[in-house]
Structure 1
């Protein structure tokens, strides 16, 4: 890619987005970031333009993107929320689906070479494992429904107008700098403090993908048009019981007292959610490089150095 390629990262101040921005700067992209709120100076990536705008507000987005063109767009916008529809689901849908429609309408498509949409493994719902991309989505929340609707909207644009989109569907991403309200950072912090903390029985099988691996997958998706119009799982491809993950964190840290069985499973929760990553290997020439133990050690090290 040329040094002058202009890249817009929507949601670029979040956990994944910030890592993507750092990698993009290292690859000499001209990077702009959209986030709903102004990014504090201490968290800003050097050499990046920050645009504060809510993508759910089309008029504001049009004003901010007027006279701007981008070669590539990576959409990491929105937030994870497993609420039921009548508990705020309309807001979740507005951000995730209407937001993507607004982006498509406000971004100059004439210069666009590639649009990477970050979907979610939640789109699979209760499909049997290993989940693969030919399975019909079975959303079980407004969040997963909005993600699935976005997937079909973008694929429609590809089929009808050759819109240059790739939909990546990551499974559970973890790593340094992840917010402490997420599963793995919460467990690590509880263990570092040698606390008793409640968990489910931990029988669920999950697929954990280290942050560096998903960042590399995103840039692989930018490197050509062979994957345009496709949905591609990004994951380790290895099922790990939640209990095993917690026990491994306890073992590495040497402290922590998980109370298994104290938290009930979520209603409708898929007990086996792990990916078939054959398609990613074939179309993107991508495979995960960081094993679970290495990824956890790096994550624990970061949490230790930033704990309090």
Structure 2
């Protein structure tokens, strides 16, 4: 049970998903350390009861920091998350997403980490054209450097488990959305649409808009992380709703909530983007006892209202 974990480290804990995980851990009275290089994290996201250090997982001081705090459990979210940027500069993507994860996996056994919960990607893990919905039995076939780096991270964590006995759970998220999502640069499409519509910006849909995604609310993702921490399990788990929504329909749903009136444009689709992505999360339901609770309409409403309060 969670009581055996007295201390936790959340890498990337000032970011969108990581900061919500920090909040959930603090509610459970676990001492939480946060590191984040603030490349995409935001100071206002950091829970004041967390012990925050501004640091990259690539910092030469990171191993010393890890040996000093000796966390019982690590939630590893620090990553380069921009798919387009991973295509432009694969080595930079690999340095953070592969070498950063490898460093953590290598040190975990030495310092006595009891478990690592890794934020992986279901959206970038599976090959375009594979049978929908993707299950964990679908052979991985990432087509972007970002997806390749996430799969590499999973494999290094499995290596650490096999060789050093450090249990891990890799949660392969579908498209996560919700409050605190950053709409700057390449971020989640929900936050880009929601904030842009509320500002009255001109907006564009990439490609035809017929590409589909599986949108899962951040609160449900946090719950999956807490269950992964508590349960005595190891391996990969898809975390999604099992429901496809195309981007054109998503735009219409957010438009209805915001009252947006401007005509949308179309822009070129990025390289490395799959046309269909939806996850089968029955393994998570069976083994973790997890299933999504927040439907898309309710989740979009919550997200838009959060952006409204920030205006």
Tell me the CA shift for residue 266 of structure 1. 2.5
Within 5 A, what are the aligned runs for 1:144-159?
A: 144-159=147-162
What does the per-residue CA deviation read over 1:282-304, in whole Å, with 9 as the maximum and x for residues that have no partner? Answer: 11000101011110111000111
Q: Are residue 248 (structure 1) and residue 242 (structure 2) matched? A: no
Rounded Cα–Cα distance in structure 2 between residues aligned with 1:84 and 1:16: 20
Q: 2:109–2:165: 8 Å Cα contact kept in structure 1?
A: no
Match of 1:288 among 274, 292, 298: 292
Name 2:176's counterpart in structure 1: 173
Q: Taking structure 1 as reference, are residues 61 and 265 closer, same or farther at Cα in structure 2, changes over 3 Å only?
A: same
Q: 1:264 Cα deviation (Å)?
A: 2.3
Q: Separation in 1 of the partners of 2:286 and 2:306?
A: 33
> Contact 1:61–1:106 at 8 Å: present in 2 too?
no
- Cα offsets for 1:187-212 (capped at 9, x unmatched): 11232234442213210111001010
Alignment partners' CA distance in 2, 1:42 and 1:239: 33
Matches within 5 A, 1:183-262: 183-200=189-206, 201-225=208-232, 227-228=233-234, 230-260=235-265, 262=266
- Give structure 1 stretches of 5+ with no counterpart: none
Q: Whole-Å Cα distance in 2 between the matches of residues 283 and 4 of structure 1?
A: 20
CA distance 1:159–1:108, shift in 2 (3 Å)? closer
Task: State whether residues 9 and 31 of structure 1, in contact with CA within 8 Å, keep that contact through their aligned partners in structure 2.
Answer: yes
Does the C-alpha gap of structure 1 residues 34 and 195 become closer, same or farther in structure 2, counting only changes over 3 Å? closer
SS at 2:203 equivalent: strand
CA separation of 1:223 and 1:83: change in aligned 2, threshold 3 A: same
Contact 2:144 / 2:272 at 8 angstroms: preserved in 1?
Answer: no
- How far did 1:178 drift? 0.7
Q: Find the counterpart in structure 2 of residue 134 from structure 1.
A: 137
Please identify, of 78-87 and 245-254, the stretch whose mean Cα deviation from structure 2 is larger: 78-87
- The 8 Å contact of residues 189 and 303 in structure 1, kept in 2 or not, is answered as yes
Aligned residues of 1:193 and 1:256 also touching (Cα < 8 A): no
- Alpha carbons of structure 1 residues 190 and 135: separation in structure 2 relative to 1, 3 Å: same
Q: Is the 8 A contact 1:202 1:241 kept in 2?
A: yes
Q: Does residue 120 in structure 1 map to residue 126 in structure 2?
A: no
Q: For 2:278, which of 264, 274, 285 is the aligned residue? A: 274
Q: List runs of 5+ in structure 2 lacking aligned partners.
A: none
2:61 aligned with 1:60, yes or no? yes
| CA–CA distance in structure 2, aligned partners of residues 86 and 280 of structure 1 | 31
> Shift of residue 241 of structure 1?
1.1
Per the TM alignment, residue 150 of structure 1 is displaced from its structure 2 partner at its CA by: 0.9
**Residues 135 and 279 of structure 2 are in contact (CA less than 8 Å); yes or no, is this contact kept in structure 1?**
yes
| Inter-CA distance 166–41: structure 2 relative to 1 (3 Å threshold) | closer
